[in-house]
Amino acid sequence: MSQHTPQRGLFESGPAWEEDDRHAGLVASVVLAGPLDRPLDYLVPEKLAGSVEPGRRVRVPLGRSNRPTVGYCVAVSTRDIPGSGLKAVLDVEDERPLLSATMLELTAWMSERWMCRHGEVLEAVLPAGVREAAGSRQQPHFVLAPRATTPQPRLTPAQQRVIAAATAPLTASELADRSGASRAVITRMVKRGLLIEAAAPAVEKQALPADERPQLSPDQAAALTPICDAMREGRHETVVLFGVTGSGKTEVYLQAVEETLRYGKQAIVLVPEISLTPQTCSRFRRRFGTVAVLHSHLTPAERHREWRKIAAGDVGVVVGARSAVFAPTPRLGLLVIDEEHESSFKQSTAPRYHARDVAEWRCRRESIPLVLGSATPALETFQKCLTSEWRMASLPNRVGGTHLPGVLTVDLRDGPPRRAGGLTPRLEAGIRWALNAGGQVILLLNRRGFATHVQCHACGHTVICPQCDLSLTLHQPGSRGICHGCGRVIRIRPRCSECGEPGLSMRGSGTQRLEDRVARSFPDARVARMDADTMRRRGSHEATLDAFRNGEIDILVGTQMIAKGLDFPSVMLVGVVYADAALHLPDFRAGERTCQLITQVAGRSGRGPKGGRVVVQTATPEHPAIRAAAVHDYEAFVRHELPIREALGYPPFGQVIRFVIRSRSETAAREWAEHLAGRLRRQIEMASDAGNRIRVLGPAPAPIERLRDAWRWHLQIQGPDGGILRNLVRRATEGLRVPDSVAWIVDVDPVEML
């Protein structure tokens, strides 16, 4: 049979008349914040050609109904328009681009790196206050009228406070915050003519150092040198400041920022806790003048105002929590992450990025130095230094000649039992010693509430949240049982709901019970508590820490928010009430976190001339994490832990992707988790480059099996190469149809496994 080339079909490359109708046009690629995973193309009409550009938001028609929807323009190009045409952009939302080309590139990388939708990343990078232009309307500023400077009859206490606070031009909101008066009081004072409008104060320019630059120790100078060298040479370098608590890491940051400003550049400084932001801002303001602040306790209008100042280049220093890594600095010259080991730098909701990885990407892209500081670096960070990928600068000694405090480990299995509230006789004696010497005390208990669970004496029944697989935590007053998983509040009755017997037992201590116990044991001491329950009000962190710094508080009780970064020279005793609180959780990082927390809080003691001590109460003093923290030898823990991680293929020697499946039906959650695990295993078998290096663990019920009335199953895939893992997951989940009754998440590089 003779062979021949078949005739080209009439419609192989589209109808001829459609090809004839093609024409060039301006096309915008638009990313929407909804469930779509890919950008959509829209025609840019001629009237909008000059205003549609990458980084601006545009309004476009979506779906069959052409519902107007706001999306992000990520690219504009001239290309052929098919004969069937494209829907056209309706309007442009922003006067100028909100995101630079570099930030758009970053968001695309984040979407791939953490396996989330590009629209989710764009929404996270751009705060809601900026998207909504909150506070854009110019707010009037007020000053005292001349007549208000003379004594006025019939002034209420609130009005008197407003007059005392009006020492400079302030908005009504600022006056209300400073005076504690309501906006209505200020409005009435304006009507009475006691307050008059004034011009807004001029933007404060960068100030020269208010005091002489402190002399660096040889170790500090050696740590600063590679940072300044990289800055001068215009290259990227990641420098890890591994310094004991009190070794002067902050002064190295300050002088590195000072060098950055000399080059006319801007610096971003990240801190892990909002409670640290006021102290850090205060130190940077004293040195440099104006400092922009970004954290979650700002109102949308305040965040928008700070964002505009940063983008305009009006401030040289930005201080903030995790999301400040996205600050729109046009002249970024340095990025610093203090306490880089903290898990709060990992976002817990989509997009589940880690600020440390985002910071490194930005610094590499900008060819600038990245500085990571910690007394207890994450094991991933430590390993990169051991392989010389990053440079480590050690600060082994405290500045000022002070020494690390001695640590006494109290074995809770020996001797007399603890009294209610968690204090052992040795810890009580230590508190009394510090108070008698005129010092202050910090007590750490990383559990809030009064009692961790309530149990019946007669039948042993424990009061459980009806929506979660968690016992209710007792909070006083009011005998409120609060679920720390879903937030549900239930009144705990004096009789058991199962057997009806009276006399429920309150077991386990939280910070509220500890505070009560301390106040009764030391009635002459002034006691305060810092935890999520007491720090709800705006400015409460700053007010409490200022009172402690000023000596108005003798004993500060709190959770981990008091454990890091705080510098109080009068603290002579730190007590870790129960060091094992998180040690035995089903999480491969439990030992690392425990060692870090104890080491960090122990470092709050002994910073002044009187010295200090630390008391660590534990039921497992032989654990490597406890032993290393007790002798201030974090490297000993690293040497013990790294071989175990390597043998198991856990980070830093491998990467993990975790899946959590939720459903109100336990069967649906289990079956879909098994289906997903099967698809992953089949992809591994088909992958020629995977071999035996990749494994799937699970599925299994999550440690917290039921949360917010949903059953939870989880599984994880782990292997040495994160890129290969992500590709396997994409292939396994491509075209996957998820039942309506099931929800699931993908967490790349998880930091918690509960």
What confidence tens digit (pLDDT) does each residue in 451-490 have? 988 988 888 888 989 999 899 999 988 889 999 988 899 9
Dihedral, CA atoms, 244, 248, 249, 251, nearest 10 degrees?
180
CATH of domain 26-78+86-131: 3.40.1440.60
Task: Specify whether the CB–CB gap between 330 and 311 falls below 8 A.
Answer: yes
| 8 Å CB contact between 60 and 40 | yes
Burial track 358-396 (b if 16+ CB lie within 10 A, e otherwise): bbbbbbeebebbbbbbbbbbbbbbbbbbeeeebbbbbbe
Of the candidates 540, 571, 623, the one whose C-alpha atom is nearest the C-alpha of residue 444 is: 571
Indicate the domain borders of the chain.
26-78+86-131, 141-198, 218-400, 402-450+509-645, 655-748
Residue pLDDT, tens place only, 728-752: 999 999 888 889 899 999 999 999 8
User: Whole-model pTM?
Assistant: 0.85
Q: Fill in the DSSP letter of residue 203.
A: P
Query: CATH assignment of 655-748?
Result: 3.30.70.600
Tokens of 351: 């997009």
- Does residue 334 carry a pLDDT above 90? yes
CATH class in words for 402-450+509-645: alpha beta
The Cα–Cα gap between 535 and 512 comes to: 13
pLDDT band at 212 (very low <50, low <70, confident <90, very high): low
Lowest-confidence segment of 101-105, 126-130, 720-724 by average pLDDT: 126-130
Domain pair 218-400 / 402-450+509-645, same fold = yes
Question: Roughly how many angstroms between the first and final C-alpha of the chain, as a whole number?
Answer: 69
Q: Which CATH number fits domain 218-400: 3.40.50.2000, 3.40.710.10, 1.20.1090.10, 3.40.50.300?
A: 3.40.50.300
Q: Are 712 and 661 in contact (CB under 8 A)?
A: yes
Tell me the CA distances in angstroms from 506 to 194, 428, 502, 662, one per residue in order.
56, 22, 13, 32
Enumerate the β-bridge partners of residue 453: 507
- 8 A C-beta contact, residue 484 and residue 473: yes
pLDDT classification of 517: cutoffs 50, 70, 90: very high
Q: Which DSSP symbol is given to 343?
A: G
pLDDT at residue 5 above 60?
Answer: no
On whether the CB atoms of residues 477 and 533 are closer than 8 A, the answer is: no
pLDDT reported for residue 95? 86
Tokens representing 218?
Answer: 């040889």
Q: Which of 164-176 are b and which e, b meaning 16 or more Cβ less than 10 Å from the residue's Cβ?
A: ebbeebbbbebbb
Q: What is the pLDDT of residue 10?
A: 34
> What's the pLDDT at 92?
94
* 716: number of Cβ within 10 Å: 20
In sequence order, the β-bridge partners of residue 745 are 660
Q: Who contacts 633 (Cβ-Cβ below 8 Å, separation ≥6)? A: none
Average pLDDT, the chain: 88
Q: Kindly give, in sequence order, each residue whose CB lies less than 8 Å from that of residue 144, ignoring residues fewer than 6 positions away.
A: 163, 166, 194, 195, 196
Q: Is the pLDDT at 149 greater than 60, yes or no?
A: yes
pLDDT, mean of residues 201-210: 46
pLDDT digits (tens, 9 = 90+) for 78-111: 988 876 779 999 999 988 899 999 999 999 999 9
